[in-house]
Structure 1
Amino acid sequence: MRIFLSALLFLAISSVYAQNTISGVVLDASNQDQLAFVNIYFPDLEKGAATDENGRFSIENLPSGSYNILFSMIGYETQSLKLIIPSTEYIEIKLTPSAIEMQSIIISTPFHKLQRDNVMKVEQKSIKDLKTKGAVTLADGITNIAGVESVTTGMGIGKPVIRGLSSNRVVVYTQGVRLENQQFGGEHGLGLSDAGVESVEVIKGPASLLYGSDALGGVLYLNPERFAEEGTSSGDLGANYFSNTQGFNTSASFKTSENNWKFLFRGSLAEHSDYDTEDYRVTNTRFREQDFKAGVGYQVSKFKTEFRYNVNHSKLGIPEEIGEQSTNKTPLLPYQDITNHVMSSKSTVFFNDSRLDINLGYIYNDRKEFEEEHDHDEDEEHEEEDHDEEEHHDEEDHDDDILEAALHMKLKTANYDVKYSLPQLGKFETIFGVQGMHQTNSNYGEEELIPDATTNDFGILGTSHIHFEKADIQIGARFDTRTIDVLNGLNKSFESFNGAFGVKTDIAKNLTTRVNLATGFRAPNLSELTSDGSMKVQTVMKLEMKT
């Protein structure tokens, strides 16, 4: 491992001196007018600029290689150009007026293309659009995406459902790494705030080729907000009030970029009382969520890296029966107290005709659940003590007693995702990669939903995008293994092989057809192997046609 990291560092340092510049102009295709303030962006480099008042632009410090560059502006069709750097050519781009909203690069697919160029159909929505429809939480907002629902327990607890599948059948990615937070439980929500999330992408149906065995139902991919543009600083402060819950969501951020370094900070707070219906308030749907995000990035000519950290602390009421009617915001028993830490590292080394992407993540999920019965047991124990000496002491320590959770689980997950994009060979773009996960579950409370155990996943994949004059084809294959070691001696291992094939063709100018065929495999998870009954390996085959 040390040799591998040392090699990456050497490659990064040895390539920082290759700097190139491109320049050009952007015109209106209908009348040849020069367009000012057109957004120009390299998705792979996460670097961009805008045209000046004369429609001209210049971007410096670009590494040698082949990259996609986007030109976008409201009222015009987004244009993508494949550019080989270094280039002395003066670039002239003509944008076509269009009433269709601007397209963005799809991050959740391996080749990072515009949606119209993707073989696989991916739904993408900005968080801004989801909020305009009145979403209180992220889990609530994703239900505004076609084909996506949410299983909820009150307002604060929700998990995604894609085409009827959820829990361990849907994979969630945040900050570029896989999220693990005991998602097997019916009352275990996302544990993420929409503050600091730029957009949401949804892959529907089996995506095992790209994301492993658990992506049987699909993938929910959350893109974090971008860093500030080079040489700029910005901040924002916002708040929303919801009359139904008499609650609020607030958020504040600051980000800056200077001399190859980028910094980002964001804090948010959400607090809501019980949800109000026509006849009553739904008791104990109240919740409080605190969230903090930070990021630091560094970029030179042929190397970029970023580290992001997110901590989310939530107190979530668990509704049972209709009872207290109030607008208090402190959850009643039973409730959950969850702290979720997500640390991610994303690095890219650019070679002349290829690139190496390394994503590393560590997720620490600390879940506590408090119940009335557990609290009553605590009180009964105190009644047996000497009240003459302990009565005053018990009153002072009552809050501490409640903090002794009936259920207390700690899930620690380290995962990695390494992909190498080969030089383009004729019509072929090809990527090979390895992905894996090491996970431990530990119990500290009186109750246990699942035992102490260790899970290890490993997968290797290859996929190619083939360009033809009138069609695009994507093919791929993947091999996965999973081992689960339980503390009491249970040991299970699973293996699978999956493949995918897709084709996209433009039947007419504004008519595109996609056909995708994929197999999916899902190995049992810890909760299924250690519960009553038997669990079999799940497989699925998907044939999808869209026009």
Structure 2
Amino acid sequence: MSINIKCSVIATLICGTAFAQTVFEGQVTDKNQKPIPFATVYFDKQEYHSDAEGKFKIENLEKGKYQIEIDEQGYEPFSQNITFDTKQNFVFNLTAHTSFDLDEVTVLGHHHDFTTANVERVDQSYIQENYAGSLAKSLENIAGVNASGIGSSTSKPIIRGLGFNRLIVAENGVKQEGQQWGADHGLEIDALNVEDIEVIKGPAALEYGNEAIAGVIKINNNNLPAKHSISGETKALYQSINDNYGIGFNLKARGDKFFYKIKGSYSDYADYRTTTDRIYYLNRYLPIYNKRVKNTAGRDVNAEIQAGYVGEKFRSILTISNVNQKVGFFPGSHGIPSVERLQDDGNYRNIEFPYQKVNHFKVISENEFRLNTKDIFKLVTSFQNNRRQEMSAFHTHYANQQAPEKNPNTELDFDLSTYDTQLKFEHNHNKNFKTIIGAQAQLQTNNIAGYNYLLPQYDRNIFSGFLIEEFKQNNRWKVTAGLRYDYSTFKSEGYFDQFLYDYLVEKGNSAGIADYYANRSKTINRNFSNLNAMVGTTFQPNDLWDFNLNIGTNFRLPTAIELGSNGIHHGSFRHERGDENLDVEKGIAFDFKTVFHKNDWDISVSPYAYYFSNYIFLKPSGQFSILPHGGQIYQYTQSKALLTGFEFEVRKKINENFDANLVYEYLYNRQLTENNKLGYYLPFTPANNLFGQLNYKVIEPAGFLTNISFFANGKYTFEQDKIAQNEDITPSYFLVGIGGKTQIKFNNFKADLSIQVSNLLNKNYYNHTSFYRALQLPEQARNIQVMLGIPFGK
């Protein structure tokens, strides 16, 4: 959604010498007079492009009347008739598609973005004002977006019931590569320093490829600072739920063509508070002392530096970032809970066994070459290293296994390195027709260590190519269509657990049974290929209606855990077994959105449907594991599946002070049997929910307080009884939240202050997609959050 403000143009006529010179000079800027680089300008139907400073020049122009049109992504379409009779300089101010600030719901118009994708946009201020301990949790009020919580500081995003390896998170065009497959693995992104985000819902495999089934959370951290400027902000954060003290810092500066940014954040948090003093798990009660979830404390240290060059024909940005986290696991999230392990130790901030250490190092190089007025060449290269270690005091069920001499308490160690190169060529045939040709190569290696075994060591390579055609007509129609081909190789090393084999034989099991369990992973050498197609269209018949339709195929390569696991996954509380014969997960997706906007109303409906011919999921096998604490074996398998639903959203500006919004999300899915009869529901499916918020804005300042606003919201989540075979029914619940924000101005001092309270009534409830749901552990208690931001610079 966006604020619709009529575009304005400021024309400053500069008289030349006594002799008339037929040179037209113009500059494209935003409403703050900041240049918009590389904008597409149509001057009397001829195409031109502004340079890095938003400037363009037309020489030897005859006197007369001309029409200027500017069509730049992220800004309202601009059109103006001018009269040219001498040397003139014009400045054209474009109005941006300002995202709806969802905590305020400032509804002045609509999001009239001429793109075929189903996109929601939020900026840095939205993330900060809705911050909930992690990035995914901070986006939950966006229609169709949910989160799988992992304690109070980590979460995984879910779009329309699809998460994990069916959803892509991309930063500056590069897909985030980590341990997405695990329910206990979070998203390693510094949420406090995100600049802006686009949530793309629906089929997106055409440009993003493997795993872009649900859509893409596109993080843009490469916005250009204003020319000849230096500015920044210092942030301070407190959260009562876990006594979190956090600070953040960012600095950006630019001269003429060079710029740099420096960002950093630090958080230190204690065991988080819940609403119960005991849980019921495995047919017995376990205590939660002082209603604090033991050993969920942690520390986050994040840093990023970016440098760039902006020239007339060439632009280059280099980004280096590192995200580091150390956070404890609730005793019982690994292995079987015991009262002894849950005893209160009197220290809420210490991090004991078991805990995890995560480090995500990333380098991204973005380069753009403007060959001429019609052709653009883009090259993006990146390297990522994601290392995740699960630390636990050495323990074994096998008497013949000794602790390793080196790092004896490292239970699991995953070291994933990813090299990625993307090439893209854009050719503008004319202002209405564009061709995009792209290629991508990704090389990935995963090394393992630790005294336990879960995931095989593997190498995976993906090579892709795609073709996209874009056509538009009269700013009413736009059609995007294309094809994409992917070829992948996967090689993993087998692993035979001799300790386990000897243990099982000593227990009286046959050699065949012992061999079945001790073969933890088979050697796999497989190739995959897939062809995808998509077509999308946008139709805007008038100022009242927008229509978007996207239909496309999608795919996902089976992961190493799905192909090669065989053993107890303590993070998921079960014995999991992979299948080396799994095929590429394929399907077709349909996404439609219609928006009606008139006066102060904005109403949208977005139905969607996903059909999978071979959906991969964990299925109870009916066979119980003979491993200690193994339980039932869950087998990765494939079947047909259907996922459908819709999002309904209403926004209304009531008067000068009040505005409101209402969002309803409905989701339905089922496995399908071979004869297309309905089977069980799919796992990790968010419940249907209804969210509403009322906002009040104070028009007049109060002393040194300005831009004062308040909000109150409520979210009703329906009972989730549409469950998979290994899940529990989750009861319905209703949560209330309140908050406010203001800007403090005192002489030359300025600061932004926001205060919010979530779960105001301290409700005891369960989130169906939470990592700790399987332990019958309720969600977080009442949380009071205070954030103070102090900007500086000019």
Same fold (TM over 0.5): yes
Q: Choose which of 518, 524, 532 in structure 2 pairs with 1:490.
A: 524
Q: Choose which of 32, 36, 39 in structure 2 pairs with 1:42.
A: 36
Distance 2:209 2:415 in 1: 23
Per-residue CA distance 1:479-536 (angstroms, 9 max, x = gap): 1111101134421111111111111111331211111111112121222111224333
Per-residue CA distance 1:430-481 (angstroms, 9 max, x = gap): 1010112100000121223221111000110011111123311111111111
Distance apart, 1:204 and its partner CA: 1.7
Distance apart, 1:38 and its partner CA: 3.3
**Residue in 2 that maps onto 1:184:** 181
- Does 2:589 align with 1:517? no
**Residue in 2 that maps onto 1:358:** 379
Per-residue CA distance 1:273-294 (angstroms, 9 max, x = gap): 1221234122222221000000
Distance apart, 1:224 and its partner CA: 0.9
Question: Residue 133 of structure 2 contacts residue 154 of structure 2 at CA under 8 Å; is this kept in 1?
Answer: no
Question: Residue 27 of structure 2 contacts residue 54 of structure 2 at CA under 8 Å; is this kept in 1?
Answer: no
- Does 2:26 align with 1:23? yes
Per-residue CA distance 1:408-451 (angstroms, 9 max, x = gap): 11100001111100133463111010112100000121223221
Distance 2:439 2:360 in 1: 26
Which amino acid in 1 is paired with 2:562? E
| Secondary structure of residue in 2 paired with 1:432 | strand
Distance apart, 1:190 and its partner CA: 0.6
**Residue in 2 that maps onto 1:414:** 419
Distance apart, 1:144 and its partner CA: 2.5
Which amino acid in 2 is paired with 1:257? R
Which amino acid in 2 is paired with 1:144? N
Question: Residue 116 of structure 2 contacts residue 478 of structure 2 at CA under 8 Å; is this kept in 1?
Answer: yes
Distance apart, 1:303 and its partner CA: 0.5
444 and 59 in structure 1: CA distance in 2 versus 1, 3 angstrom threshold: closer
Question: Residue 247 of structure 1 contacts residue 273 of structure 1 at CA under 8 Å; is this kept in 2?
Answer: yes
456 and 293 in structure 1: CA distance in 2 versus 1, 3 angstrom threshold: same
Per-residue CA distance 1:384-427 (angstroms, 9 max, x = gap): xxxxxxxxxxxxxxxx9877411111100001111100133463
**Residue in 1 that maps onto 2:311:** 300
Compute the TM-score of the two structures, normalised by the length of structure 2.
0.55
Q: Choose which of 298, 311, 329 in structure 1 pairs with 2:322.
A: 311
Distance 2:28 2:160 in 1: 45
State how 1:118-133 maps to structure 2 within 5 Å: 118-133=115-130
| CA RMSD of superposed structures (Å) | 3.6
Question: Residue 458 of structure 1 contacts residue 480 of structure 1 at CA under 8 Å; is this kept in 2?
Answer: yes
| Secondary structure of residue in 2 paired with 1:339 | strand
Task: Point out where structure 2 has 5 or more consecutive residues left out of the alignment.
Answer: 1-22, 41-50, 59-67, 102-110, 277-290, 333-341, 495-522, 566-576, 595-794
Instruction: Figure out how many residues of one structure are paired with residues of the other and give that number.
Output: 472
Q: Choose which of 260, 264, 269 in structure 1 pairs with 2:261.
A: 264
Distance apart, 1:343 and its partner CA: 0.5
234 and 403 in structure 1: CA distance in 2 versus 1, 3 angstrom threshold: farther
**Residue in 2 that maps onto 1:433:** 438
**Residue in 1 that maps onto 2:216:** 219
Distance 2:24 2:296 in 1: 56
| Secondary structure of residue in 1 paired with 2:211 | coil
259 and 491 in structure 1: CA distance in 2 versus 1, 3 angstrom threshold: same
319 and 22 in structure 1: CA distance in 2 versus 1, 3 angstrom threshold: farther
Distance 1:441 1:22 in 2: 54
| Secondary structure of residue in 2 paired with 1:509 | coil
Which amino acid in 2 is paired with 1:506? Q
| Secondary structure of residue in 1 paired with 2:268 | strand
25 and 154 in structure 1: CA distance in 2 versus 1, 3 angstrom threshold: closer
Question: Residue 202 of structure 2 contacts residue 213 of structure 2 at CA under 8 Å; is this kept in 1?
Answer: yes
Distance 2:301 2:189 in 1: 10
Question: Residue 206 of structure 1 contacts residue 540 of structure 1 at CA under 8 Å; is this kept in 2?
Answer: no
Question: Residue 63 of structure 1 contacts residue 301 of structure 1 at CA under 8 Å; is this kept in 2?
Answer: no
Distance 2:487 2:123 in 1: 35
Question: Residue 227 of structure 1 contacts residue 255 of structure 1 at CA under 8 Å; is this kept in 2?
Answer: no
State how 1:373-388 maps to structure 2 within 5 Å: 373-374=394-395
Distance apart, 1:184 and its partner CA: 1.1
Question: Residue 421 of structure 1 contacts residue 432 of structure 1 at CA under 8 Å; is this kept in 2?
Answer: yes
Question: Residue 119 of structure 1 contacts residue 503 of structure 1 at CA under 8 Å; is this kept in 2?
Answer: yes
Q: Choose which of 557, 564, 570 in structure 2 pairs with 1:530.
A: 564
| Secondary structure of residue in 2 paired with 1:528 | helix
- Does 2:252 align with 1:255? yes
64 and 502 in structure 1: CA distance in 2 versus 1, 3 angstrom threshold: farther
Which amino acid in 1 is paired with 2:146? E
| Aligned-residue identity in percent | 25
**Residue in 2 that maps onto 1:405:** 410
| Secondary structure of residue in 2 paired with 1:215 | coil
State how 1:271-286 maps to structure 2 within 5 Å: 271-279=268-276, 280-286=291-297
Q: Choose which of 157, 162, 165 in structure 2 pairs with 1:168.
A: 165
Q: Which moved more, 1:349-358 or 1:196-205?
A: 196-205
Which is helix-richer, 1 or 2?
A: 1
Task: Point out where structure 1 has 5 or more consecutive residues left out of the alignment.
Answer: 1-19, 27-35, 47-57, 73-77, 105-113, 383-399
Question: Residue 148 of structure 1 contacts residue 163 of structure 1 at CA under 8 Å; is this kept in 2?
Answer: yes
238 and 441 in structure 1: CA distance in 2 versus 1, 3 angstrom threshold: same
Question: Residue 561 of structure 2 contacts residue 578 of structure 2 at CA under 8 Å; is this kept in 1?
Answer: no
Distance 1:517 1:127 in 2: 31
Compute the TM-score of the two structures, normalised by the length of structure 1.
0.78
Which amino acid in 1 is paired with 2:378? D
Distance apart, 1:318 and its partner CA: 1.5
Q: Which moved more, 1:302-311 or 1:167-176?
A: 167-176
Per-residue CA distance 1:214-247 (angstroms, 9 max, x = gap): 1122211111153432211123211011122111
Q: Which has the larger radius of gyration?
A: 2
Q: Which moved more, 1:262-271 or 1:134-143?
A: 134-143
| Secondary structure of residue in 1 paired with 2:249 | strand
